[in-house]
Homo-oligomer: A and B are copies of this chain.
């Protein structure tokens, strides 16, 4: 763990290490992934089956074997505990309400000469959602990807998830039933991304692919980008915390560990002007670690990629956090809303002492798929807009083209584009 003070002579070096935290070196997997994509493009289902044999330890005997039956989903749903069922429904409803609020609307405006300009917003026809499987199968990931696509109005929603040993995760199946998803395929990794990007005999080609995954999935998403749209290229999860003396060290320690328990590559970074808080959180982390079933992962993450930085004041802390642009940012101060305007870059901001990051992972409502590794400087959370696209609307009257046509013809002429110029002039009154 980096435990430092901005006054340390080697601070700049330590901090630079944090800025590089999310860098994925895809070079060493590029050739493998390109090969997988080409195999799927060429051999489609038969390549899919081979990849499943190789990576998931079972062999589909026919094309139908690739698909999960809706019966098994409804059965899984019936089998889950009623309290958990209620919790998942609460999550579903809250996520849906939030995403409905962010849905963009078509609009237009008119000018008195008869001009109409606007923007038509429509759903993409189809979306492919990648949901990690096996031990890291999270029903919450399914909700967070399906709901924005449903709110957008996507007609065809397809899910791909790896199923090692041909044993689908029961919770994921239950969540599929809850969400009303019916087209789920037992395909994972780069193969799944390629199948959804280019289509096979069984898996349809889609317009947009979203969802988290390992470096093979991320690399495949980058490679198919342009042939389909994708949400973002995401790396390991991370949390940044801005806090002062008003914060509870015990709470912040467990918040940091809630990132660390995800993944050895996860980063947890506390920046505070309070030396006292910094010291306390460091101790509390140790107290919590030994209580966690996932201690090993969390300890490695904290040791190798955790950081506690003491600054001269909150302004300096905010400045550093803006450079980091964390996926999740907790602001654990009494005046969290006062600090909000100064915070420039983060995937999601959790304000005040009662808002642990985990509440946003499941039930708060906003999406938990967020930009990582500093990409919050230019990417947005997954949302309804990822499943929609815009079309410009332009309509001119005869009066309007007469009024504005000359300027248009003049610029076209200057650019040497005569047919452009003439297409306007032929419509103007002589």
A residues with CB within 8 A of B: 83-84, 86-88, 90-91, 94, 98, 101-102, 104, 107, 109, 115-117, 119-120, 122, 124-125, 138-140, 171, 207-208, 222, 225-226, 228-229, 233, 250-251, 254-255, 257-258, 260-262, 288, 291-294, 298, 336-337, 340, 343-367, 370-371, 375-381, 383, 385, 389-398, 400-401, 404-408, 410-412, 414-424, 426-427
**A301–B60 Cα gap in the complex (Å)?**
48
Chain A interface, DSSP helix/strand/loop, else mixed: mixed
**A86–B406 Cα gap in the complex (Å)?**
11
**A404–B84 Cα gap in the complex (Å)?**
13
Given A298-B419, A389-B378, CB of A363 within 8 Å of CB of B411: yes
Verify B415–A138 contact, CB threshold 8 A.
yes
Verify B101–A354 contact, CB threshold 8 A.
no
Q: Which residues from B are CB-within-8-Å of A87?
A: 406-408, 410-411
**A309–B139 Cα gap in the complex (Å)?**
48
Verify A392–B370 contact, CB threshold 8 A.
yes
**A207–B371 Cα gap in the complex (Å)?**
13
Given A351-B393, A351-B394, A419-B257, CB of A109 within 8 Å of CB of B117: no
Given A124-B378, A378-B389, CB of A254 within 8 Å of CB of B422: yes
**A226–B378 Cα gap in the complex (Å)?**
9
Verify A117–B420 contact, CB threshold 8 A.
no
Verify A222–B226 contact, CB threshold 8 A.
yes
Query: Which residue, A294, A344, A414, has most C-beta atoms of chain B within 10 A?
Result: A414
Could you tell me the distance in whole angstroms from the C-beta of A127 to the nearest C-beta in chain B?
Answer: 9
A349: contacting residue among B233, B260, B391, CB under 8 A = B391
A408: contacting residue among B109, B222, B362, CB under 8 A = B362
Query: Which residue, A115, A258, A351, has most C-beta atoms of chain B within 10 A?
Result: A258
Verify B359–A404 contact, CB threshold 8 A.
yes
Verify A364–B419 contact, CB threshold 8 A.
no
Verify A427–B125 contact, CB threshold 8 A.
no
Of the A-B pairs whose beta carbons lie under 8 Å apart in the complex, a sample of 22, sorted by A's number, is: A86-B407, A87-B407, A88-B411, A90-B404, A91-B411, A117-B365, A120-B340, A139-B415, A208-B378, A228-B378, A254-B426, A294-B419, A349-B392, A352-B397, A355-B394, A356-B423, A358-B408, A359-B401, A360-B394, A364-B396, A376-B389, A383-B390
